Amino acid sequence: EAQVTQNPRYLITVTGKKLTVTCSQNMNHEYMSWYRQDPGLGLRQIYYSMNVEVTDKGDVPEGYKVSRKEKRNFPLILESPSPNQTSLYFCASSLSNRAQETQYFGPGTRLLVL
């Protein structure tokens, strides 16, 4: 089954404790992206990657890192989480960066930073 998977689905942590949220897709997609969803704000892009070893900042990159060492994986790293990073996070992928390509989303990771 074609899908985007994320782990963990739920995470509670404390301020300053490094964490990684994994994202993997099995569709051989080139383009991958991370979004955060906050009430009343919709989804905002954090980082994106157009292919292996090619990543760039989205609209809200502060406090986040990403890497793209393999085509299928795109982990999101919070080096020193803070309470304002409490949010619902989604990973997405599409075949390419062409504007008409549909992005497919993972199930989401709900993060609480105390």
Partner 1 sequence: AQSVAQPEDQVNVAEGNPLTVKCTYSVSGNPYLFWYVQYPNRGLQFLLKYITGDNLVKGSYGFEAEFNKSQTSFHLKKPSALVSDSALYFCAVRADTGRRALTFGSGTRLQVQP
Does 102 interact with partner 1 (rule: CB under 8 A)?
Answer: yes
Does 106 interact with partner 1 (rule: CB under 8 A)?
Answer: yes
Number of CB atoms found within 10 A of residue 102's CB? 8
By CB under 8 A, name the one of 14, 41, 54, 114 that touches partner 1: 41
Count of chain residues binding partner 1 (CB under 8 A): 26
Measured from the CB of residue 109, what is the shortest distance to partner 1 in angstroms? Answer: 10
Could you write out the DSSP letters of every residue in 5-36? EEE-SEEEE-TT--EEEEEEESS--SEEEEEE
Could you write out the DSSP letters of every residue in 19-87? EEEEEEESS--SEEEEEEEETTTEEEEEEEEEETTEEEE-S--TT-EE--SSSSB--EEESS--GGG-E
Does 11 interact with partner 1 (rule: CB under 8 A)?
Answer: no
> Which residues, 42 to 101, sit near partner 1 by CB under 8 A?
42-45, 48, 56, 58-59, 90, 92, 97-100
Measured from the CB of residue 100, what is the shortest distance to partner 1 in angstroms? Answer: 4
Summarize as ranges the residues that interact with partner 1 (CB under 8 A): 4, 33, 35, 40-45, 48, 56, 58-59, 90, 92, 97-100, 102-108
